[in-house]
Amino acid sequence: MNDSDPSNPCFSAQRRRVLLGMGAAGVALAGSSLSGPALAATGKAAQVTAAPSSDKTHERHAFHGQHQSGIVTPRPAAGMLVSFDVLASDRAELERLLRTLDQRIKFLMAGGPVQQVDPKLPPLDSGILGPVVTPDNLTITVSVGASLFDERFDLAAAKPKRLIRMVGFPNDALEPDNCHGDLSLQFCSNTADTNIHALRDIVKNLPDLLLVRWKQEGSVPPQAPAKPGEAAQSARNFLGFRDGSANPDSNDRTAMQQIVWVQPGSDEPAWAAHGSYQAVRIIRNFVERWDRTPLQEQQSIIGRVKASGAPMDGQQEHQVPDYRKDPHGQLTKLDAHIRLANPRTAQTQRNLILRRPFNYSNGVNKNGQLDMGLLFICYQADLEQGFIAVQTRLNGEPLEEYLKPVGGGYFFALPGVTGDQDFIGRGLLEATRTHTTA
């Protein structure tokens, strides 16, 4: 008798267990004429090679705006940071690079049909999204590194005041091949394939002007919708803790102006207004060691309850810890990660940053250990008062035993493109045009 035969008692018992485990929604599905984990729109069971379905593929963000998208924009499930060396040899080629980036990003974010060419010629598109490119919630954020302001393009006079080459902190083991760059592109979308499609499009259209230096992909695990009256929960990182619980409110425009965006009239070059400093770190997690660490020690190191994400003196994730009532670190250790990162004093309010991290998994190292961790990305109006100050406070923290930063860089996210007559990076070029021709 076959186990899949409904007359088999084993089948009946198994079916009862499945129904009991599915809950009310599962029972309703199982009671229909067809049951299974995935049903096609036709009501038939899906085939093994059928593509997963989504109603999110036509989500899109506006390309034009005072600020670039992908910074305070809600973080989707798939992220990727790619750093490039710029191959342009003069300002004319640099402008061609920026104008081409502008055109391609505008199309990729909006989506649309791909122009067909003579089959004897290479196609204009990789085709991995099909003949019609779907926007799929894509954002592409363009930032520039300190090395772009060398002697090649005579941009030194317009260099953002606090933009420097990333230097190592005491616990770093930075790999040169995974650090720095003239230009970075941050890709964010609903699916990893959309990011890869966009990267390949840009590489195809700029082969003589851009060379990939390093790339890191990442993801964010989707969460179940919040229950009525409850705040949305932050996603978990590969240490199993919620990441971003104390992030500033990205919908608070006043807060974002203070924390994220360079303001007009500041000591930064005038063209940099409405841009932001981007700090990127590839942080490997020693997950095998972490998984052998007692729960109470994990929570003590982080400063939060692992299951709920609540601070040690709270009940819910987004509660604000009150360190004034715990001056000696009886509940939250004085060297706990969250307490060092944000001591919550009047003086350290100027050190706030906006985090936009993704988990990454790069396979297995030669020693058989899992190569996974955090693609840390954050934005701030002042790199020195933001990430650098926070990381300096974290130097020597107990968490360092379980992680090792291996790559990344500092960049400046360019201001947004305000209209069809504008293009990404135009302000930077114009700010140095008089200097160049004087």
246 is in an annotated binding site: yes
* Alpha carbon distance 175, 214 (integer Å): 11
Query: Contact 391/294 with Cβ under 8 angstroms?
Result: no
DSSP 116: P
304 is in an annotated binding site: yes
Partners of 417 in the β-ladder: 64
244 is in an annotated binding site: yes
Q: What Cα–Cα distance (Å) separates residue 232 from each residue in 172, 225, 245?
A: 33, 7, 10
Token digits for 327?
Answer: 């001056």
| Category of 329 on φ-ψ map: left (φ > 0), alpha (ψ -120 to 50) or beta | left
Partners of 394 in the β-ladder: none
Nearest CA-CA partner of 373 in 244, 248, 217, 166: 217
355 is in an annotated binding site: yes
- Residues 6 or more apart whose Cβ sits within 8 Å of residue 158: 149, 269, 271, 428, 431, 432, 435
342 is in an annotated binding site: yes
Mapped onto helix, strand or coil, the DSSP state of residue 419 is: coil
Token digits for 129?
Answer: 């999204």
Nearest CA-CA partner of 73 in 81, 58, 83, 62: 62
Task: Name residue, tokens 């036509």.
Answer: 58
CB neighbourhood size of 239 (10 A): 23
- Residues 6 or more apart whose Cβ sits within 8 Å of residue 385: 350, 351
CB neighbourhood size of 235 (10 A): 18
* Alpha carbon distance 224, 401 (integer Å): 32
Q: Are strands 354-355 and 112-113 parallel, antiparallel or unpaired?
A: unpaired
Token digits for 299?
Answer: 């929570």
Binding residues, as ranges, are 244-246, 304, 337, 342-344, 355
Binding residues for protoporphyrin IX, as ranges, are 244-246, 304
Binding residues for heme b, as ranges, are 244-246, 337, 342-344, 355
